[in-house]
Chain A
Amino acid sequence: MPATDDQTQPIGAAASPAAPVDPRPTFTQSIAITIRQPAKLRNLELFLLLVAIGISATAIVLVQLGVDGAVDLGVLAQAGALGTLALGMHVTLRVVARDADPFILPIATILNGIGIAMIYRIDLDRGLTGWESQGIRQMVWTGIAMIIALVVVIAIRNHRVLARYRYVAMLVGIVLLLLPMLPGIGLTLNGARLWIQLGAFTFQPGEIAKIALAVFFAGYLVTARDSLSLVGRRILGLQLPRGRDLGPILIVWVAAMGVLIFQRDLGTSLLYFGLFVVMIYVSTGRLSWVLIGLGLFLGGAAIASRTLTYVEGRFAAWLDSFDPAVYDAEGGSYQLVQGLFGMADGGLVGRGLGQGSPTITPLAESDYIIASLGEELGLVGLFAILGLYLLFVARGFRIGFNGTDDFGRLLAVGLSFVIVLQIFVVVGGVTRVIPLTGLTTPFLAAGGSSLVANWIIAALLLRLSDEVRHQPRLVVDE
Chain B
Amino acid sequence: MNKELRRVSVVALMMFLALFVSTSVIQVFAVDELRADGRNSRTLFESYSAERGPILVAGTPIAESVPVDDQYEYLRTYSQPELYAAITGYFTLNQGNTGIEGELNDYLTGSANEQFLDQLGALVTGQSPRGAAVELTIDPVVQQAAWDALGEQQGSVVAIEPATGRILALVSKPTYDPNRLAAHDTQAVLQAYEELINNPDDPLVNRAISGDLYFPGSVFKVLMTAAALDSATFTPDDTFPNPPRLELPQSSSVISNSEGGACGGGETVTIATALQLSCNIPFAQLGLALGEQTIGEYATAFGFGASVDVPMPATPSRYPEGMDDAQLMLSSFGQYDVRVTPLQIAMISAAIANGGNLMQPTLVDRIIAPDLSIVQDDEPVLFSQPISRETAATMTQLMVGGVANGAASNARIDGVDVAGKTGTAENGGDAPYTLWFTGFAPAEDPQVAIAVVVEDGGGFGQTAFGNRVAAPIAKQVLEAVLNR
Contact = CB atoms under 8 A, between A and B. Distances in A.
Contact of B2 (A374, A394, A428, A477): A477
A303 interface: no
Nearest to B31: A344
Interface stretch (B8-16, B327-335, B407-415): B8-16
B34 interface: yes
Given A282-B1, A382-B27, A341 B34 contact: yes
B198 interface: no
B43 interface: yes
B30 A344 contact: yes
B254 interface: no
Given A337-B39, A400-B5, A401-B5, A417 B23 contact: no
B26 A344 contact: yes
Contacts of B27: 343-344, 346-348, 374, 378-379, 382
A406 B1 contact: yes
A383 interface: yes
Interface string A208-236: 00000000000000000000000000000
B245 interface: no
A347 B20 CA distance: 14
B42 A342 contact: yes
Please classify the interface of chain A as helix (H, G, I), strand (E, B), loop, or mixed, using the class held by over half of its residues.
helix
A431 B26 contact: yes
Nearest to A380: B27
Interface string A385-418: 0100110011001001100001001000100110
Interface in B389-423: none
Interface in B18-53: 18-20, 22-28, 30-31, 34-35, 37, 39-43, 45-46
Interface in A326-375: 327, 337, 340-348, 356-357, 360, 374
A478 B18 contact: no
Interface stretch (A184-192, A304-312, A419-427): A419-427
A341 B1 contact: no
A401 B28 contact: no
B3 interface: yes
Interface in A26-42: none
A103 interface: no
A424 B25 CA distance: 16
Contacts of A423: 15-16, 19
A368 to B, nearest CB: 13
B70 interface: no
A433 interface: yes
Contact of B4 (A281, A378, A417): A281
Contacts of B31: 344, 347
A340 B30 CA distance: 10
Contacts of A409: 1, 5
Given A341-B34, A357-B42, A417 B1 contact: no
Contacts of B5: 282, 397, 400-401, 409, 413
Nearest to B41: A360
A420 B14 CA distance: 11
Chain B interface size range: 20 to 34
A93 to B, nearest CB: 26
Contact of A390 (B3, B16, B22): B16
A472 interface: no
The listed residue with most B CB atoms (<10 A of its CB), out of A283, A285, A344, A400, is A344
Contacts of B1: 282-283, 285, 406, 409, 477-478
A237 to B, nearest CB: 17
Given A401-B2, A406-B1, A345 B43 contact: yes
Contact of A344 (B22, B35, B45): B35
Chain A interface size range: 35 or more
A428 B18 contact: yes
Contacts of A348: 27-28
B49 to A, nearest CB: 11
B124 to A, nearest CB: 14
B4 A427 contact: no
Contact of A386 (B20, B37, B40, B46): B20
A432 interface: yes
Contacts of A165: none
Contact of A343 (B18, B20, B26): B26
A56 to B, nearest CB: 22
Contact of A433 (B4, B19, B28, B42): B19
Contacts of B9: 394, 397
Nearest to A432: B22
B30 to A, nearest CB: 6
Contact of B35 (A285, A345, A431): A345
B36 to A, nearest CB: 10
Contacts of A433: 18-19, 22
B22 A383 contact: no
Contacts of A322: 37
B18 to A, nearest CB: 5
A335 B3 CA distance: 41
Contacts of B25: 431
A278 interface: yes
B22 A417 contact: no
The listed residue with most A CB atoms (<10 A of its CB), out of B5, B35, B39, is B5
A189 to B, nearest CB: 26
Contacts of B45: 357
A281 B4 CA distance: 7
B28 A379 contact: yes
Interface in B420-448: none
Nearest to B25: A431
Contacts of B22: 427-428, 431-433
B261 to A, nearest CB: 55
A454 B22 CA distance: 25
A470 to B, nearest CB: 20
B37 A341 contact: yes
A306 to B, nearest CB: 26
Nearest to B26: A343
Contacts of B34: 340-341, 344
A260 B18 CA distance: 25
A285 B39 contact: no
Contacts of A416: 12
Contacts of A360: 41-42
A244 B18 CA distance: 37
A213 B27 CA distance: 37
Given A345-B42, A357-B45, A360-B41, A386 B19 contact: yes
Contact of B18 (A281, A393, A413, A424): A424
Nearest to B9: A397
A386 B17 CA distance: 10
A428 B23 contact: no
Contacts of B35: 341, 344-345
A417 B16 CA distance: 12
B8 A278 contact: yes
A382 B23 contact: yes
Contacts of B37: 322, 337, 341
Contacts of A427: 19, 22-23
B42 A413 contact: no
9 contacts: A278-B8, A345-B42, A379-B27, A383-B20, A390-B16, A397-B9, A417-B8, A424-B18, A427-B23
Q: 9 smallest A-B Cβ distances: which pairs? A: A344-B34, A431-B22, A379-B27, A424-B15, A341-B40, A345-B42, A282-B4, A420-B12, A344-B31
Interface of A: 278, 281-283, 285, 322, 327, 337, 340-348, 356-357, 360, 374, 378-379, 382-383, 386, 389-390, 393-394, 397, 400-401, 406, 409, 413, 416-417, 420, 423-424, 427-428, 431-433, 477-478
Given A340-B26, A341-B41, 16 more contacts: A282-B1, A282-B8, A327-B39, A340-B34, A341-B39, A343-B27, A344-B26, A347-B28, A393-B12, A393-B16, A409-B5, A417-B12, A423-B15, A424-B19, A431-B23, A478-B1
Interface of B: 1-5, 8-9, 12-13, 15-16, 18-20, 22-28, 30-31, 34-35, 37, 39-43, 45-46
